[in-house]
Amino acid sequence: MTALAAPQRAEAPAAEPLVELREDDPAWMDLVLTAPDASVFHLPAWTRVVAGTYGYRAAVLAETDGLGRVAAGVPVVCVRRLAGRAWVSLPFTDRCAPLARDPASLTRLAAGLVEWSAGERAPVEVRGPLPPVAGWRDAVVGVEHVLQLEAGAEALRRGFSETHRRRLRQAERSGLRARLGRTAAEMEAYYRLHLLTRRRQGVPVQPRRFFDALWEKLIASGHGVVVLAETPAGVPVAGAVVLAWQGTAMVKFQASDAGSWALRPNHLCYWTALRWASEAGHRRFGFGRSETRHAGLQRWKRGWGGEAVPLSYASTGGSDPGVGGGALHAALSKFIKHSPTPVCRVVGSLLYRYAA
């Protein structure tokens, strides 16, 4: 990844000690439900999926105002890495910037997090930008492609690249069909494809209990949908898990059977997800993080018409901004690619928590 030079940071203002809240504290939820830039990742449900699966300690660190309201805050969990403890907002999350009622409150929160990190003797990493306060380091770790949906599904389709339109027509002529669902059985069908994809990529596999929690706490409660592309015989060959809340839908996970790529099932999945998001009244569609070095993945996402938005992370207390687990992933990649699926599941269950 490529780190860009950070702007000159100002001296931190005097900070009051931050308040540590539960992830579902009513004062925090009042801010989450009113902040225009809040996402599904600020909801207690997402924090519980992550923290509950891996046994992390979770909290919301908040700056309060004179009325006792949360003026600014950020959800965090304490992860264990090979280098030691770190507080992250949030692991396995592309973007989870702090929320604030005004710029001054956000600045005070940033200063308070520097002091809190020093008191904890552990770094703090925020997956989003912060104001220029001393003690923080920034890095642009990639981009996030975002597509505006207001034009409607058919207008969006006309805006796809010629390659995407052609391959989508191939998928529609191939006999594949796409369906949407929110049941545990549909999440299980997706997870089987997820195992194939992660093994092919040489990436640790999230444990099954993570997807069980994702289904129970978010999908089943209406905060998203599972998309499956199936053969005429009803065999799933591609799938996606789409999370959605407050006008924004996003692909969080996508997987497919490489043996069916000639039928273009991934194109059918993405088109189905985009059309669902548009028709459900969401205003934006996110394609997730693409790291700087992944030019091909960025080209794929750009072909759907999305705008590339720089993705900036910040850290204080000794760690570098970025995505944890790179060295671990590199060491495991070859082993995973050449291991049977049950072994990949065991490896992921044991080690994925350290790759946050």
Question: Does residue 1 have a pLDDT over 50?
Answer: no
Kindly report, residue by residue over 145-185, the tens digit of the pLDDT: 999 999 999 999 999 999 999 999 999 999 999 999 999 99
Distance CA 43, CA 28 (A): 10
CA distances from 324 to 61, 130, 348 (A): 21, 19, 15
**Lowest model confidence (mean pLDDT) among 23-27, 140-144, 199-203, 231-235:** 199-203
Q: What are the residue ranges spanned by the domains of the chain?
A: 19-140+313-318, 150-282
Checking if the pLDDT of 323 tops 60, the result is no
Nearest-10 Cα torsion for 99, 105, 106, 111: -130
- Mean pLDDT across the stretch 263-287? 97
Residue 78, classified by CB atoms within 10 Å of its CB into exposed (0-12), middle (13-18) or buried (19+), is middle
Pick the more confident residue, 3 or 356.
356
Q: What pLDDT, in 10s, does the model give residues 66-118?
A: 888 999 999 999 998 877 899 999 999 999 999 999 999 999 999 999 999 99
What is the predicted pLDDT for the residue at 205?
83
Confidence bin at 328 (pLDDT 50/70/90)? low
**How high does pLDDT run on average in the chain?**
89
Query: Is the predicted pLDDT of residue 5 greater than 50, yes or no?
Result: no
Asked whether residue 226 carries a pLDDT value surpassing 60, the answer given is: yes
d(Cα 224, Cα 227) in Å, to the nearest integer?
A: 10
Crossing angle of helices 326-337 and 341-351, rounded to 10°: 160
What backbone phi and psi angles, to 5 degrees, belong to 90?
-125, 155
pLDDT at position 346 over 70: no
Confidence of residue 3 (pLDDT cuts 50, 70, 90): very low
215 or 14: which carries more pLDDT confidence? 215
Spatial neighbors of 270 by CB under 8 A, at least 6 apart, are 240, 251, 254, 304
Residue 4 pLDDT greater than 50, yes or no? no
> Residue 63's pLDDT band (boundaries 50, 70, 90)?
very high
**Structure confidence at residue 337 (pLDDT):** 52
pLDDT of residue 6: 44
Class of domain 150-282: alpha beta
150-282 and 19-140+313-318 share a CATH fold: yes
Q: What is the pTM of this model?
A: 0.88
Q: Please name the fold of domain 19-140+313-318.
A: Aminopeptidase (3.40.630)
